[in-house]
Amino acid sequence: MTPDVRDRLDRPSRVTPGAAQPTGSPVPEAAWSRALQLISQADEVALACHVSPDGDALGSMLAVGFTLRSMGKRVTASFGDRDFTVPRLLGFLPGQDMLVPPADYPAAPDLMITFDSPSIGRLGVLADSVRRARELIVVDHHPSNDGFGTLGLIDPSSAATAMLAEQLIYRLGGALDRDIATCLYAGLVTDTGSFKYSSTTPAVHQMAARLVATGLRTEEIARELWDRSPFGYLKVLGAALERVRLDDGLVWTYVTRVDRAAYGLPYCELEGIIDIVRRTDEARVAAVLKEDDQGAWQVSTRSKGHVDVAAICAALGGGGHHSAAGFTSHEGVEETMAKFQELLREA
Ligand SMILES: [Mn+2]
C-alpha cells in the first residue's frame, strides 16, 4: 500500500458500542455465554483461520484479535500454510503484528479460536495444535462445517464469518474502531462479492453502515482487494483465457506453475480469474484449476443456478457454499475435470 493510502485509512474514528447492535442469529445464547466465559478466563488466546486465507478468514481473525488485545489478552494468530505468507492483496489489513508463522504457534493452546474454517483439514499444518487445544471455539458460516471443536459459534445463514466476528466483538464489550472495521469490512465485501451475491441481506448492509461510519475509505479497500495486480497477472490471465473450454454448461480453464513462473506471479494472485470466467452466459457452472507451488491443483468452482457446487466439491474432498466451493486434486487436469463433470451430470 502506498503511504498516502495508509494515511487516509488511518483516520481515527470510533463508533459508540451499543449504538447499533447486530441483529440476532441462530447461534444459541448459551453458546455465546460459554464463549464469553472461556475468553474471560483466558490470559492467552490462540487464533487461527483457514489456509490460503481470504478477506473473510484473515479479516475476522484480526478483528477479534484487536478486541482481545484491548482486553489485555496475549494474542497469537496464524494460518496453516506450509509457506506462510500473507496474500499480497490482504497486505493492507491492520494488525499483522499479531501473526506468527505456524512454527511459532502454541503446540497445545489452552484456548484456541478458529475463523471461517469448516473442518480441521482446512487449518493445514496447525491441525495438531487444533487437536491438542484444551478449549476450541469455532466461528464459522460454512453449511459444510463438520462440527469440530468444543464450542461452535456457527451460523450458515450469515453471509460472512465477519458477521459472527462482529457479534462476538460487541458481546465482549468491544467497540468498532477503524482498524477493526477495516478487517471486518474486508470479510464482508469478500464473501458477498461486494454486495452482489444473494447472501447480501439487509443485515449485511446494516453491518456495512456501522463499519463505514468509523470513517472507512471503502474505495481504497476495494482497490487494494480487487483493482490492482502486477503486469504478469494479465499475461497469465491471457494464457488461461486462451485455453478456456465450454462443455455442456460448464466453462473452465486452468493455470499451471509454469504459466506463473514465467512472470514470477505468486499463486495467491490467481484468485480473481474465476470471476472473469464465470460471467459466461452459456454456462451455469464455472471452474478454474490453479496449480499451487507443490504441484497440487486447487480447484475453484462457481454456480449460477440450482447446481450445488458445495455438494460436488464435498464428494471430491473439498467444500464451501452452494454457489462457491472448491477442492484439491492431486491428479491431472483431464482426470480431475472428468470426475467433476461426471458429478455435475448427476447433480
Ligand atoms: Mn467466509
How many whole angstroms from 8 Cα to the centroid of ligand 1? 27
Residue 14 DSSP label = E
Q: CA nearest 185: which of 65, 268, 93, 114? A: 93
Q: Coil, strand or helix: which one is 41?
A: helix
Out of 226, 241, 276, a domain closes at: 226
> Is residue 263 located within the same domain as residue 325?
yes
- What would the pLDDT profile of 97-106 be if each residue is shown by its tens digit? 999 999 999 9
The verdict on 339 and 203 lying in the same domain is no
Separation of CA 238 and ligand 1 centre (Å): 29
CA of 198 to the centre of ligand 1 (A): 14
127 and 216 inside one domain = yes
Are 239 and 209 within one domain? no
Q: Which of 200, 226, 252 is where one domain is finished?
A: 226
Residue 57 Cα to ligand 1 midpoint, Å, equals 6
The CA 162 to ligand 1 mean position distance, Å, reads 7
Whether the CB-CB separation of 295 and 303 falls below 8 Å is answered with no
Q: What is the pLDDT of residue 10?
A: 40
**Co-location of 222 and 235 in the same domain:** no
Burial of 282 (0-12, 13-18, 19+ CB in 10 A): exposed
Question: Are 339 and 247 found together in one domain?
Answer: yes
Distance 141 CA to ligand 1 centre (A): 6
* Residues 83, 208 within the same domain: yes
Q: How far apart are CA 9 and CA 123, in angstroms?
A: 30
CA of 160 to the centre of ligand 1 (A): 5
C-alpha cell at 183: 478487517
In the reported structure, the alpha carbon of residue 262 is separated from the centroid of ligand 1 by a whole-number distance in angstroms of 32
Alpha-carbon gap, residue 341 to 24, rounded angstroms: 40
Task: Give the tens place of pLDDT for each residue, 213-228.
Answer: 999 999 999 999 989 9
84 and 153 both lie in a single domain: yes
Mark whether 221 and 244 lie in a shared domain: no
Pairing type for strands 111-115 and 44-49 reads parallel
Walk along the chain (347 residues) and give the pLDDT tens digit of each residue: 444 444 434 444 444 444 444 555 689 999 999 999 999 999 999 999 999 899 999 999 999 999 999 999 999 999 999 889 999 899 999 999 999 999 999 999 999 999 999 999 999 999 999 999 999 999 999 988 999 999 999 999 999 999 999 999 999 999 999 999 999 999 999 999 999 988 999 999 999 999 999 999 999 999 999 899 999 999 999 999 999 999 999 999 999 999 999 999 999 899 899 999 999 999 999 999 999 999 999 999 999 989 999 999 999 998 888 999 999 999 999 999 999 999 999 98
Residue-level pLDDT at 22: 53
CATH at 311:
3.10.310.30
Per DSSP, helices labelled H in the chain are 3-9, 29-41, 55-70, 127-132, 161-171, 178-191, 202-212, 218-226, 231-242, 257-261, 273-277, 309-315, 333-346
197 and 179, same domain (yes or no): yes
How deeply is 305 buried, as exposed, middle or buried, from its count of CB atoms within 10 A (0-12, 13-18, 19+)? exposed
Identify whether residues 33 and 140 lie together within a single domain. yes
154 lies in which domain range?
3-226
CATH number at residue 183: 3.90.1640.10
Domain count, the chain: 2
34 backbone dihedrals φ, ψ, rounded to 5°: -60, -40
pLDDT for 319: 86
Tens digits of residue pLDDT in 35-46: 999 999 999 999
Residue 242 C-alpha to ligand 1 middle, in angstroms? 31
Same domain, yes or no: 193 and 244:
no
